[in-house]
């Protein structure tokens, strides 16, 4: 692994880089916006209309194993290397990721995690995302110039990804803690999942920490102190192994980022998350709770 980049960068810092024309082979910016169908947003169309100057668009669905029946399954090393290389990213590039969600961060943590997973720790998240960038009056553009392709070599850290089999065994062995970052109502089985044919509920023994609760009202990541309090309140021990899960492996990476900021960089992700779990698990392993009468 190469040099470790600062985990979070501010809009002020990035604007300074943009204003000094430092976006190039040494600094690449990626708009990683991705939305659920229910959000009624077209990430590519929005990027074409407005984005941070010098940014390229990273498509989570395109940079995936398209042969899998599950959404945005991780690609192999060569595919990832070719994909990011075509965005002008080399092994010496510092990559800054952001998304344009109303949360301040939604899908960008997934791409932050993917770069680290494939051996590139020189990646940062724009704290507050495009929401904060615009709020602070920094420049935007609808013009895109594709960067010159670069050579990127990827080495995947496979131990950072948990499989369905790993999750099934863990129900009995409890070798790692499972953190589900979907909204509590879906975790408890009280509200429907966004994917047709998938019922809500959770993996037995998992704990719920909704991804948006890692952020403050302005869409900024909570301080490490407040994040540690949130983990403690959720009965998660940061000194022990932990694994993030969500609907399909995107927002689970918020937990990984939060744990990383708390000094626990060993958090893993269940790639298939709830979508795969509900599809494959026996009914007794789809846990729900009875909704109280009001």
- Give the catalytic positions in this structure: 246
Residue in 62, 108, 110 with CA at minimum distance from that of residue 83: 62
Cβ proximity of 64 and 85 under 8 Å: no
Q: Which residues are CB-contacts of 246 (< 8 A; sequence separation ≥ 6)?
A: 180, 181, 182, 211, 252, 273, 274
Beta strands in 78-192 (DSSP E): 94-98, 123-126, 161-162, 177-180
Cα of first residue to Cα of last residue in the chain, in angstroms, is 54
- Could you give the CA distance from residue 58 to residue 144 in angstroms, rounded to a whole number? 13
Cβ proximity of 156 and 77 under 8 Å: yes
Burial of residue 209 (CB within 10 Å: 0-12, 13-18, 19+) is buried
């Amino acid at each position: 692994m190469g040099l470790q980049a600062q985990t979070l960068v501010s809009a002020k810092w990035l604007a300074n880089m943009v204003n000094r024309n430092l976006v190039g082979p040494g600094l690449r910016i990626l708009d990683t916006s991705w939305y659920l169908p229910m959000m009624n947003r077209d990430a590519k169309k929005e990027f074409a209309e407005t984005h941070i100057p010098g940014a390229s668009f990273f498509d989570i669905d395109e940079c995936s194993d398209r042969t899998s029946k599950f959404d945005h399954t991780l690609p192999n090393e060569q595919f990832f290397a070719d994909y990011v290389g075509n965005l002008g990213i080399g092994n010496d590039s510092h990559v800054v990721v952001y998304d344009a969600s109303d949360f301040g961060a939604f899908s960008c943590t997934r791409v932050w995690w993917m770069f680290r997973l494939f051996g590139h720790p020189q990646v940062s998240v724009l704290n507050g995302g495009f929401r904060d960038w615009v709020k602070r009056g920094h420049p935007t553009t609808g013009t895109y110039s594709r960067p010159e392709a670069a050579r990127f070599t990827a080495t995947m850290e496979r131990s950072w990804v948990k499989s369905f089999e790993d999750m099934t065994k863990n129900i009995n062995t409890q070798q790692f803690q499972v953190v589900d970052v979907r909204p509590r109502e879906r975790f408890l089985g009280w509200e429907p999942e966004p994917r047709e044919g998938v019922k809500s509920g959770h993996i037995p023994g998992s704990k719920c920490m909704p991804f948006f609760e890692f952020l403050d009202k302005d869409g900024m990541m909570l301080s490490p102190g407040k994040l540690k309090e949130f983990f403690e309140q959720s009965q998660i021990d940061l000194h022990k192994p932990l694994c993030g899960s969500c609907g399909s492996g995107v927002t689970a990476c918020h937990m990984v980022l939060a744990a990383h900021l708390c000094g626990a960089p060993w958090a893993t992700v269940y790639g298939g998350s709830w979508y795969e779990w509900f599809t494959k698990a026996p009914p007794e392993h789809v846990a729900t709770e009875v909704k109280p009468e009001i």
